[in-house]
Amino acid sequence: MTATHTDTWRRYAVCADPDIDPDLFFPERGKNATKAKAICTTCPARQACLDAAMAEEADIGWRYGIRGGLSANERARLAGKRVVRPRPIVHGSPGGANAHYERGEKPCDICRVAWAEYRRTRRAQLTVVA
């Protein structure tokens, strides 16, 4: 296996969904990013996305836009006190699916089912808010 989880997380990126407006992740100055951040909270790739942003931006500087649920300012602050928080896996829950992804592994069957259900619910809620 040559691909690492640093490559594969992108497959699970919720913001890659063609139904999601990419501009949400680049709010105009002064507008808030609540909606994009809400989407990130539903994203199984969130931790990997954030890790990638932190690794990349530590070298090139903090980029405008929401990545891994955080704004550029928030990521810059995080860089000062980065903490790795391995979470216990509660199988059969959306959080369990996240915990699998955070470890760079695919979720087990019951976590995948729980995640799919959670995502459907969250998407329905986001649609109502819009």
Which residues sit at the interface with Zn ion, rule CB under 5 A? 91, 96, 108, 111
Binding partner selected for residue 108 from ligand SF4, Zn ion, none, CB under the kind-specific 5 to 8 Å limit: Zn ion
Residue 71 or residue 98: which is nearer to Zn ion going by CB?
A: 98
Of 114, 109, 108, nearest to 95 by C-alpha is 114
What sign has the CA pseudo-torsion 38, 41, 44, 48? Answer: positive
Tell me how far apart the alpha carbons of residues 127 and 130 are, in angstroms, rounded to a whole number: 5
Residue 14 or residue 111: which is nearer to ligand SF4 going by CB?
A: 14
Three-class SS state of 60? helix
Q: Return residues touching ligand SF4 (CB under 6 A).
A: 13-15, 25, 39-40, 43, 45-46, 49, 66-69
Residue 36 or residue 99: which is nearer to Zn ion going by CB?
A: 99
- Number of neighbouring beta carbons within 10 Å of residue 6: 12
Binding partner selected for residue 96 from ligand SF4, Zn ion, none, CB under the kind-specific 5 to 8 Å limit: Zn ion
- Give the tokens for residue 50: 């954030």
| Shortest spacing between CB 68 and Zn ion, in angstroms | 22
